[in-house]
Copies of this chain bind each other. A is one copy, B any other.
Amino acid sequence: MPPTITAFESSPDRGKGQARDMRVRWALEEVGQPYDVRLVSFKAMKESAHRTLHPFGQIPTYEDGDLTLFESGAIVLHIADRHAGLLPEDANARARAIAWMFAALSTLEPPIVELGMAMLFERDKSWYAERLPVLKDRVRVRLGELSRRLGDADWLDGAFSAGDLMMVTVLRRLNASGLLDEYPGIATYVARGEARPAFRRAFDAQLAVFIAGSKGS
């Protein structure tokens, strides 16, 4: 039996692949593992059956036999631990790749999510014009630092790893902001991730869910 993941029945990003199931789909495609998907509505996500799997009522979850996991970072790391292709064999290189996973989730994603939330929910607030540039600058600081570390390299630390997978998915949340255009090295890095066949397969799979949902509604 392949593992089962959960994803939005109707993703708020309208199939742009910015929901967190994309990370897990991409990881499973990179290591060549089939998987099943169970779609969850916003309402069902907050009900007790789903909360048994995910205490915070979110997607994705991951079920494989006796094991249930939540948190996209933990799920991708678990997949990378069990299958070749997402983490180097050398112990030190492996630890560094995992550090980039944490950097993506702890250092890059929070200011990116804050910017996204303000753009969604604070547009009509009196403070929006004053606060937006502050939020953008917080993201710019991180993009500048990331850009300097990446330099001319293809990936963050040697070969493509789960660290790059997480970082690219986090950076893709900026697609609509215009900020990636200010850092051509980062934009190229994201495009390099998006060009991977495993990314394309994962992207197409989540897009198919959105298109099917739109036709049905």
Name A residues whose Cβ lies closer than 8 Å to a Cβ of B.
Answer: 51, 55-58, 66-75, 77-78, 81, 92, 95-96, 98-99, 101-103, 105-107, 109-110, 113-114, 125-127, 130-131, 142, 145-146, 148-149
Contact = CB atoms under 8 A, between A and B. Distances in A.
Contact of A146 (B55, B67, B96): B55
A56 B99 contact: no
Contacts of A101: 74
A145 B71 contact: no
Contact of A57 (B72, B73, B81, B145): B145
Contacts of A51: 145, 148
Contacts of A105: 73, 102, 105-106
Sorted from nearest, which 5 A-B pairs have the closest CB atoms? A74-B99, A55-B149, A71-B102, A127-B127, A73-B102
